[in-house]
Chains A and B, each alone.
Chain A
Amino acid sequence: MTHGFDRRSMLTGSLALSAASLALPRMAFARGPGSRNLLFVLLRGAADGLAMLAPVGDPGFAALRERALPDYAAARRANGFFAIHPALDAVGAAYERGEALFVHATATAYRDRSHFDGQNLIETGGTRPYGLKDGWLNRLVALTGEAAGAPPRALAIAPTMPLALRGPAPASSYAPSALPQASGDFMDRVAQLYAADEQLAGLWAQAMETRAMAGASEVKNLRDATAAGELAASLMREEDGARIAMIELGGWDSHANQPGQFTRAARQLDALLGAYAAAMGSAWGQTLVLVATEFGRTARFNGTNGTDHGTAGAAIALGGAVAGRRVVADWPGLGEAALYEGRDLAPTIALESVLAGAVAEHFGLDPKAALARLFPGRTAQPLGGIVHG
């Protein structure tokens, strides 16, 4: 509230949209996934939302991070008040095309500062770390499956199954392996050996299908972000591809020399999302990408030009299905008194409401039922209006 900045005006202006004003009428019945795609991108290590989408219109930002201001001098603006980090070029372009929106000052129910616990919570969807043993995306697979009569194909683009996709609903994982590819002849013989074994023959057939979908990809590992994005698209864009997928991106834990580290990580994310969008082709129109992280970072830089573990951060919704070119925020401000525990951006929108609201709209599920199933024990309402109806 310093320097004449008025939080209420943010709420009533076109810039910020509260959960209530975005809510859509409840859908009469679930329609199932159809040809809709969801890619969940988890940024591991707590990405700094204030760097991703800098609130340059808040005088508090300059007071806290004067050194960072020049980075945003020529950056794309979002609703005048925010600036999109210049490394997020493809995301910024999608924003201007109306295919991306940001949610700011958002956080899960987690209020402590351990990556370990925070990631457990954003993946399980629980209200306390280790309270749930399965993941919210796995429960989403089950939920959309109930609506459609059969679970949609779900895939983790990762070497092992991330917690978010673990659970009783079927989900597969695929990642370029560091192991040398087995020879074609050996693979053929394994297929013959398994032909008489129902379980192994089924797994083998599925694996070969996934590999075929991945194409003759020369991707050696997922560290090449452009290749990872193309790989994700190749596994999702076809009719029989995965409908629900997850990919992880590390490198966000910027305790020191943040500007350089954040720029590197953001370029990776941007390359991944840009390559994914381009490679999805016509399926992009039916696609929702949700980008989230376990928590935000401290509002001030620390003594080593970095940031420590904070609370609220930013999330991105991207895709042809997104009603974009907006920032959704109930902006808490960056004045001393407004900071959470005097150090972090304060959370004003529950990330669970964003995730549940967006996927419910996208897959035609009842939003309240989706929130209760995916993120049990919440009181906040699911956020509506993220995805085109």
Chain B
Amino acid sequence: MRKRSIALNRFGYGLRWRDGARGATDPEAALLAQIDRFDPAPPGLAGRADTSGKAGEILELLRRNRMMRERAPAGAQTGAMMAGERMADTARGPLADLPPDIRRSYMDAGRVLRRDIALKVNTAVVSDTPFIERLVHFWSNHFSVSAAKPGTQHQVGNHEFAAIRPRVLGRFSDLLKAAVLHPAMLLYLDQFQSVGPHSRFQQRARRGAGRERGLNENLAREILELHTLGVEGGYTQGDVTEFARALTGWTIAGIRRIERFADPQPGGAAFVAFAHEPGTRRIMGRSYPQTGPEQALAVLDDLAAHPATARHVATKLARHFAGDAPPTSLVARLEADFLATGGDLASLTRTLVASPEAWTESPAKYRAPFEWLVAVLRLTGVENLDDKRIAGALRELGQVPWRAPSPAGYDDLAASWAGPDALVRRVELAERVARNVPAGDVMARAEAAFPGALSDNTRSWLARAESGTQALGLLLVAPEMMRR
């Protein structure tokens, strides 16, 4: 692959055809220029309605429904969640049994979610800073949240657009704090209902004034394992529990029972002091005497600066750009940069661009479904596909945003995406897309999309196609399109 092709495809989301064949003479400089030009709130996103208060609203509805049915298992809540999940597929069935206000609320949540998915895709499709858009997608997947839990449908879009997007070129510690203390994450990993065992809340519950709740370690564990140190990062179960205690009190706004005690936090979260575990915490050999919400923030700052975190982040970033088994020299260089700058992500990005390992001639990665679809839409000029079609296409391709099967996010490995059936689906979708767009200049488009890197094989099969439409369809699934 020639350098211009690598800059377009490996770092970016492929050629946007309306830009034509003009390409930068210095691909490295063009990538670095995107760092300065990146707009965290482009017009499409700036117009998005704020839905940050909606999570509590849904939880309240579910609670009321539960109480109406006398019993108090968590069942009602997750039951409706399952119905909400399926709603996208079947408009009627599963929701039919729910009370009308909850049904309406879920229909509304489903619409917000579909609109946010389309916003995410279309933002990447029209972007003229596609390299930074890729970083947004990378970090969003690093801090993966799933729309499958009640209340999150309104929040997962917020999480990426408001918490992650503006910080991908800032400091890792700020990105970390914003991403893991956002309502979407607090809901997804159960933090919102975690209560300190010696908190006033719990003492009151023990006296019989309310339902007793306990500590939930889910978020603490995943921050250590997935978001910062990594699974081999040297933390113990004791660190997990202590960190979970430090996190108690961090919850979401809009839960009626605690609303009047909740202090609003930046990003839409809330802090309830009387659910916070009192006292000094000891984590990874350090003491945290802070009180209130600052205790968790201080822990997060230290985790962000930990050498294991530098290694973990460097490895994942190198894997995303330089191959499933990333070169150790690149990992080491990124790690050193992270440590030297205290986690300056713009510096990390510059170091990546300057690294020869990221510019290897042969393709480094198999494109995941999301990035393949974005590349197809850019190359064919389909810039405003409607919400339902986008959600449908991503479902058929097997990678719906904010729907990863675990908090680890979607795999960044060819083994997960290079499947036989998945390939046929791309072929089917490609033929359909090609039939619905003007199909002139396919050969010129191919040369422009992969400057200096188009194979003779692809060129000759495009030339032999019996129509422009067929040639365009073939281009969309050519080996050059499947990898970057």
A residues in contact (CB < 8 Å) with B: 44-45, 112-116, 120, 129-130, 133, 159-161, 163, 166, 168, 172-175, 177-183, 185-187, 189-190, 192-194, 196-197, 199-200, 203-204, 206-207, 210-211, 250-251, 253, 255-257, 261, 298, 302-304, 306, 308-310, 343
Given contacts A120-B406, A192-B461, A303-B69, contact A207 B74 (CB under 8 A): no
In the bound complex, do residue A116 and residue B149 qualify as a contact, i.e. CB atoms below 8 Å apart? yes
Contacts of B71 in A (CB 8 A): 298, 302-303, 308, 343
Contacts of B79 in A (CB 8 A): 115, 253, 255, 308-309
In the bound complex, do residue B83 and residue A253 qualify as a contact, i.e. CB atoms below 8 Å apart? yes
In the bound complex, do residue B75 and residue A298 qualify as a contact, i.e. CB atoms below 8 Å apart? yes
Given contacts A159-B398, A190-B477, A200-B479, contact A174 B421 (CB under 8 A): yes
Residue of B with least CB distance to A300 = B71
In the bound complex, do residue B423 and residue A207 qualify as a contact, i.e. CB atoms below 8 Å apart? yes
In the bound complex, do residue B406 and residue A309 qualify as a contact, i.e. CB atoms below 8 Å apart? no
Count of residues in B whose CB is under 8 Å from the partner chain? 62
Residue of B with least CB distance to A210 = B420
B415 within 8 A of A: yes
- Give Cα distance in the complex from A206 to B149, angstroms: 36
User: Could you tell me which residues of chain B, from 392 to 412, have a CB within 8 Å of some CB in chain A?
Assistant: 392, 395-396, 398-399, 405-408, 411
B199 within 8 A of A: no
In the bound complex, do residue B405 and residue A116 qualify as a contact, i.e. CB atoms below 8 Å apart? no
- Give Cα distance in the complex from A177 to B408, angstroms: 27
User: Could you tell me which residues of chain B, from 195 to 235, have a CB within 8 Å of some CB in chain A?
Assistant: 218, 222
User: Could you tell me which residues of chain B, from 369 to 410, have a CB within 8 Å of some CB in chain A?
Assistant: 392, 395-396, 398-399, 405-408
Residue picked from B71, B79, B465, B478, most chain A C-beta under 10 Å: B79
Residue of A with least CB distance to B432 = A180
From B81, B97, B421, A257 is in contact (CB under 8 Å) with B97
In the bound complex, do residue B421 and residue A115 qualify as a contact, i.e. CB atoms below 8 Å apart? no
In the bound complex, do residue B461 and residue A309 qualify as a contact, i.e. CB atoms below 8 Å apart? no
**What string of 1s and 0s marks CB contacts (under 8 Å) between B456-484 and chain A?**
01100100011000100110011100100
Residue of A with least CB distance to B74 = A113
List 19 extra interface pairs beyond A161-B398, A256-B98, CB under 8 A. Answer: A129-B218, A130-B218, A133-B406, A159-B398, A178-B396, A179-B396, A189-B461, A189-B474, A192-B461, A193-B458, A193-B474, A203-B419, A207-B420, A253-B83, A253-B94, A298-B75, A308-B71, A308-B75, A309-B74
- Give Cα distance in the complex from A298 to B69, angstroms: 13
B residues in contact (CB < 8 Å) with A: 68-71, 73-76, 78-83, 86, 93-94, 97-98, 148-149, 218, 222, 392, 395-396, 398-399, 405-408, 411, 415-416, 418-425, 427-432, 455, 457-458, 461, 465-466, 470, 473-474, 477-479, 482
Interface of B is mostly: helix
Interface of A is mostly: loop
Residue picked from B76, B218, B429, most chain A C-beta under 10 Å: B76
In the bound complex, do residue B419 and residue A161 qualify as a contact, i.e. CB atoms below 8 Å apart? yes
In the bound complex, do residue B78 and residue A204 qualify as a contact, i.e. CB atoms below 8 Å apart? no
- Give Cα distance in the complex from A175 to B218, angstroms: 34
In the bound complex, do residue A183 and residue B75 qualify as a contact, i.e. CB atoms below 8 Å apart? no
Residue of B with least CB distance to A169 = B415
In the bound complex, do residue A182 and residue B427 qualify as a contact, i.e. CB atoms below 8 Å apart? yes
In the bound complex, do residue A302 and residue B420 qualify as a contact, i.e. CB atoms below 8 Å apart? no
- Give Cα distance in the complex from A45 to B405, angstroms: 16
From A113, A180, A200, B482 is in contact (CB under 8 Å) with A200
Given contacts A193-B461, A303-B71, A304-B69, contact A45 B420 (CB under 8 A): no
In the bound complex, do residue A45 and residue B69 qualify as a contact, i.e. CB atoms below 8 Å apart? no
In the bound complex, do residue B75 and residue A256 qualify as a contact, i.e. CB atoms below 8 Å apart? no
Closest chain B CB from A14 CB (angstroms): 36
- Give Cα distance in the complex from A167 to B415, angstroms: 9
- Give Cα distance in the complex from A314 to B41, angstroms: 52
Contacts of B477 in A (CB 8 A): 190, 193
Given contacts A166-B416, A255-B75, A309-B75, contact A303 B423 (CB under 8 A): no
Closest chain B CB from A190 CB (angstroms): 5
Contacts of A113 in B (CB 8 A): 73-75, 78
In the bound complex, do residue A303 and residue B424 qualify as a contact, i.e. CB atoms below 8 Å apart? no
In the bound complex, do residue B76 and residue A308 qualify as a contact, i.e. CB atoms below 8 Å apart? yes
In the bound complex, do residue A203 and residue B423 qualify as a contact, i.e. CB atoms below 8 Å apart? yes
Given contacts A173-B422, A200-B423, A308-B71, contact A251 B415 (CB under 8 A): no
Residue of B with least CB distance to A179 = B428
Residue of B with least CB distance to A174 = B421
- Give Cα distance in the complex from A114 to B80, angstroms: 11
Given contacts A113-B75, A298-B75, contact A203 B418 (CB under 8 A): yes
Residue of B with least CB distance to A297 = B75
Contacts of B407 in A (CB 8 A): 130
In the bound complex, do residue A116 and residue B398 qualify as a contact, i.e. CB atoms below 8 Å apart? no
Contacts of B455 in A (CB 8 A): 196
In the bound complex, do residue A253 and residue B82 qualify as a contact, i.e. CB atoms below 8 Å apart? yes
Closest chain B CB from A342 CB (angstroms): 11
In the bound complex, do residue B474 and residue A255 qualify as a contact, i.e. CB atoms below 8 Å apart? no
- Give Cα distance in the complex from A198 to B427, angstroms: 17
Given contacts A175-B421, A203-B419, contact A256 B82 (CB under 8 A): no
Given contacts A115-B81, A194-B479, A204-B420, contact A186 B473 (CB under 8 A): yes
